[in-house]
Chain A
């Protein structure tokens, strides 16, 4: 059997890949995909820990995360479409009306 720690390492690697994606890519849709990758990496951790502890809390949590992620996709893509209609771009470097 594959030890649980392997799953945790894979999950951490996926999370970091997603994080790097968010920080380096400039297309709103790619950034959003990277965020989804981070959430799924967390799901993998939850399932691995659930197996480690032998209780189902982690697995139930994964369902919640997936549902919430789906709701987030609905809102996020709608926002990206609305902004694409106005600016004809999804490049976040062009979202610079206000300077932080």
Chain B
């Protein structure tokens, strides 16, 4: 396509469909509202198709503010996959929780649009606006169950800390602008490598503040404090979205800024990120062991996974890092949405505490459900032949190729620690007796599709990763 306006086509489609959902919402009766989820889903699928149109012609557009390289387009695919799966999970869940409103679907699509803007932003301004579209939508979604005190509390915590982190992120941008005189990623990279910056200290302060801003979004230690509470309090379908799409968006923008704009300063920022990655992994994994609730355990595990993903960025080689990062994020999206889907199914209406007894003997009551949960846990733990294993393999080998041997070793040690609490879930499902009073419901069609697609995705990425990796090989084509 020669018209550069269409580089934003996947985003335009999502915005259009979110408006359509809002209009249709007014015409539908309450019990017909789940149909809006289908409308939103069609929007996601159309947007996914439009990504394939753009695939062969990467280009920059909109005064160099937007780029549609393979890195951006593959990130789109990750966001759309996780948004689509979340939509499928949500339709029944919203009715059960009595929060079936059309705005939910519209906000989910807008959040995905913000995420896509972050991944394709070639200017710190675009990345900032994308970040805010994403964040503001997710603040509302986290508090969507507005009659539920936990949901509101989690939304307020997320909002206040998120706005606080936005302040740091912006100050970081201001400092980078002050040092380089531009906010364009390519020009920053050029100016930094030529050394024509006004003040080295501005740039260092800017980098530190940007790390804090991104660290908050992707839940790195010590900026993770909001994560467990928000993940626990938010409606579970929103948690599934937050732990996959929001994290992926954070890392896509993180990668864009650090692997492209600040790549010439690689030697200066690896030290601080190295320390953050190690602390994040150990903190997430060790705290996850102590959790009784599965939803909270998954929250801490998502902190640990942010640590693994950070290793990819530290490796610092644009192609190697971005390829392994995106592969990991895709596998993580399939795995986590399915795991949260099962958490949704096993939680009883209005109940927010999840303890082991809902999972005890799941293998007897629901052999297939237990199997899917086991696959997810195995994938999160990074055991072959699953997506989680291949993702970790690529990330650690990128670290080794970049000569970060200790980081790879510490990553492997952490994977071993994490096996303990993931396998405990499998143990409870397969070897404990089910609680006698448990009444089980039926799986909705959407949930079945999510679980089937996720298992296929996990095994596909785990056994034949080559096809996806081949797509990612040149993900930074326009990027540099």
Taking beta carbons and an 8 Å cutoff, which residues of A are in contact with B?
8, 15, 18-19, 22, 28, 31-32, 35, 38-39, 41-42, 45-46, 49, 52-53, 55, 57-58, 60-61, 64-65, 68, 71-72, 75-76, 79-80, 82-83, 86-87, 92, 95, 97-100
Report the bound CA distance from A71 to B139 in whole Å.
12
11 further A-B contacts with Cβ under 8 Å, apart from A92-B160, A98-B232, are A8-B178, A32-B160, A35-B164, A39-B170, A41-B171, A49-B174, A57-B181, A64-B125, A68-B132, A83-B156, A97-B153
Give, as a whole number of angstroms, the nearest-CB distance from B410 to chain A.
25
Which B residues lie within 8 Å of A75 (CB)?
136, 139-140, 159
Which B residues lie within 8 Å of A18 (CB)?
167
Which B residues lie within 8 Å of A100 (CB)?
225-226, 228-229
B308 within 8 A of A: no
Q: Are B229 and A98 in contact (CB under 8 A)?
A: yes
Q: Are B228 and A61 in contact (CB under 8 A)?
A: no
Give B148's nearest chain A residue, CB to CB: A86
Q: Are B170 and A97 in contact (CB under 8 A)?
A: no
A interface footprint on B144-184 (CB within 8 Å = 1, 0 otherwise): 00100110111111011001101100110111011001110
Q: Interface residues of B: mostly helix, strand, loop or mixed?
A: helix
Which B residues lie within 8 Å of A98 (CB)?
150, 153-154, 228-229, 232-233
Which A residues lie within 8 Å of B164 (CB)?
22, 35, 38
Which of B139, B150, B164, B183 has the most CB atoms of chain A within a 10 A radius of its CB?
B164
- 30 A-B residue pairings within 8 Å (CB atoms): A15-B171, A18-B167, A32-B160, A32-B163, A35-B160, A39-B167, A45-B175, A53-B198, A57-B177, A57-B182, A60-B125, A61-B183, A65-B170, A71-B136, A72-B132, A72-B166, A76-B159, A79-B159, A82-B143, A82-B152, A86-B149, A87-B149, A92-B156, A95-B153, A97-B149, A97-B153, A98-B150, A98-B232, A98-B233, A99-B229
B128 within 8 A of A: yes
Give, as a whole number of angstroms, the nearest-CB distance from A33 to chain B.
11
Q: Within the complex, which residue of A8, A35, A61, A83 is in contact with B163, where a contact is CB–CB below 8 Å?
A: A35
Which B residues lie within 8 Å of A55 (CB)?
181-182
Taking A28-B160, A57-B177, A97-B149 as contacts, is the C-beta distance between A45 and B143 under 8 angstroms? no
Give A48's nearest chain B residue, CB to CB: B178
Give A58's nearest chain B residue, CB to CB: B177
